[in-house]
Amino acid sequence: MSISVVRSTAINWVETARAGLSADCAQIFDFAEPAWREYRSCAWYVERLRAEGFTVEEGSGGMPTAFCAEWSNGAGPVVGMYAEYDAVPGNCQAATVHEAPRFGLSGHSAGHTDPHSALGISGLAGLLATKAAMEQHGIKGGLRFTGEPAEKVRGSKPIHAAKGYYDGLAGMLSFHPFYMLPMCNTVRWDTHCGAAYSMIYRFICDAPHKFGVMNGAPIPQSHSDIRAPGANDALVMMYSQARMLRDTMLPHVGGWSISEAILSTGQATADNLPAGLAELQYMIRVPSVAMAEQLLARLDALSHNIAGLTGCRVERHWVCKSRPGLANHTMASLVWDEIQQVGAPFWDRSAKNLMRQVQQNCGMKPDENPILPACEKLISPQDAEAILRESLPPNQLNSTSDDYTDMTWHTPTARFYIARPALKGGPYPAWAMNALGGMAQTIDPMVQVAAKVLACSALRLLVDDDARTAAHKEFNRRKAENDIPPLCDYPAPIQFKWPEYVETTRGTDWYIPTMEPL
């Protein structure tokens, strides 16, 4: 069987399905649901996959908005792909050339930034194109497609990994829209993403009245009573003191970071009563698990000291523990071959006209050819690696952060990037990139190319016995040299005050949930 014939079948499927894929991408873009609350997006994928003949497990790994879909064309190797579909609060943007939230919402609601809407539909299209070619040409084997919620907080993949959802695969294909140079229309080679820890410190003030008791006698005026500072004070102290520690907790080179977010508990009062509950979330992006553990120890110690000062107790809850990535040159080379066969995305006159309008609405002079030149070019994995390493210390093995890395410890994995529409010049406000990720004319070229690369790579892996053998041999060797078992020892953190949409008499609204821990 000629691989070129099989490849052509998959490519033709993607091109024929272009209009439908464009509508699908717009639908997920419009849902724009944030981490752990992707109810409509997940339901959409589950319904679609079942209609396409897949068996779907809903709520995989104990995550209500995750799924695992499988399809078989007979005994043989199984290839993995996946969808992400979570959006980011504070980035609500319509698919238009000027700054505007989606209809009926404020800009503080969620929107797709990477965009995961297009990432997920690219994965779905690659999956269905592979299935069509397998059926037409009698290729034996299977497909596994996971729905991965909460990627922005590194949520699902460590959990799926620990529960075995990536085990037994011939390989995993991990696609992401381009987000930084030189990783554009290429595959990661040696320097994969690093470790990430995310946790929530919950300060609870149970007995504020006992903080300053004087001889056991109550004070007649309750507003004058001595009470503990409370949870809000604890949160503010933790926030500020941890920021002061950053210079000593992190290296001064390499781009590693600690980010924090305050989770609202919906307490609104002008009384003098101390807050009883406050939560602060941290995301640590570092090169190694050992460094993550060092930073965790400092934050733990700080939280306990602050709890004592403010009359609180503190709980630490895990959001994620994600491992650094494991390279696989065999898989990277296989996918790079297919990228070269498919070629880089191309944006036509109508797309570039929209880009010029975005430039103008950002206060920039419209460019005759507004697309960032790298978006329409390929760069080899080795050349991209060399450029990436120029700004990294020699002993730094990993760069940036993403939880696909947990897949790399369970099956041979290729991580590749296809260009999303990006503008020359800048800097541009966030809405500009978000809008370009939603307009069909500007985002469809990426979806088409990414889907073709996914399908062609999957088919190559299914029919090429030598490539599969070599990929697993390399995987076993690299894993044996420095194995890191799954770090996930916690349930999905679905009970926290993650923002979400609700339906009210006013219509769809943006809301901070108040559900207490299960």
Q: Residues 303, 430: one domain?
A: no
420: its two tokens: 């999303």
- What integer best gives the mean pLDDT of the chain? 92
Tokens 């553990």, located at residue: 293
Mean pLDDT of 352-378: 97
Domain boundary at 322, 343, 362, which?
322
Sorting pLDDT into bands at 50, 70 and 90, what band is 401?
A: confident
Smallest CA-to-CA distance from 113 within 141, 143, 96, 89 is with 89
Q: Residues 91, 184: one domain?
A: yes
Q: What is the pLDDT of residue 243?
A: 86
Q: Residues 7, 111: one domain?
A: yes
pLDDT tens profile 246-255: 777 766 666 6
Statement: residue 312 has pLDDT above 50: yes
Q: Residues 251, 114: one domain?
A: no
pLDDT tens profile 402-413: 999 999 999 999
Residue 94 lies in a domain: yes
Using CA atoms, how far residue 143 sits from 170, 334, 449, in Å, is 10, 18, 20
Statement: residue 214 has pLDDT above 90: no
Q: Residues 86, 222: one domain?
A: no
CATH number at residue 329: 3.40.630.10
Q: Which residues of 371-389 are buried (b: 16+ CB within 10 A; e: fewer)?
A: bbebbbebbebeebbeebe
Q: What is the pLDDT of residue 227?
A: 77
Residue 498 lies in a domain: no
**Domain membership of residue 418 as a residue range:** 3-194+324-481
Q: What is the pLDDT of residue 204?
A: 92
Strands (E), 14-95: 55-58, 67-72, 78-84, 88-89
Using CA atoms, how far residue 342 sits from 171, 177, 335, 350, 460, in Å, is 20, 16, 11, 22, 13
Q: Residues 245, 392: one domain?
A: no
pLDDT tens profile 112-170: 999 999 999 999 999 999 999 999 999 999 999 999 999 999 999 999 999 999 999 99
Q: What is the pLDDT of residue 86?
A: 97
Mean pLDDT of 4-25: 97
Statement: residue 489 has pLDDT above 50: yes
Mean pLDDT of 229-247: 88
Q: Residues 273, 125: one domain?
A: no
Residue 140 lies in a domain: yes
Q: How far apart are the first and last CA of the chain?
A: 54
Residue 516 lies in a domain: no
Q: What is the pTM of this model?
A: 0.93
Q: Residues 24, 51: one domain?
A: yes
Statement: residue 309 has pLDDT above 50: yes
CATH number at residue 281: 3.30.70.360
Percent of the chain with pLDDT over 90: 77
Q: What does residue 97 show for φ and ψ, rounded to 5 degrees?
A: -85, 0
Q: Residues 157, 24: one domain?
A: yes
Identify the weakest region by mean pLDDT among 39-48, 210-219, 254-263, 336-345. Answer: 210-219
Q: Residues 186, 201: one domain?
A: no
346: left (phi over 0), alpha (psi -120 to 50) or beta: beta
Q: Count of domains in the chain?
A: 2
Sorting pLDDT into bands at 50, 70 and 90, what band is 215?
A: low
Q: Residues 346, 384: one domain?
A: yes
Residue 53 lies in a domain: yes
Q: Residues 144, 60: one domain?
A: yes
Residue 305 lies in a domain: yes
Residue 259 lies in a domain: yes
Smallest CA-to-CA distance from 208 within 190, 194, 193, 225 is with 225
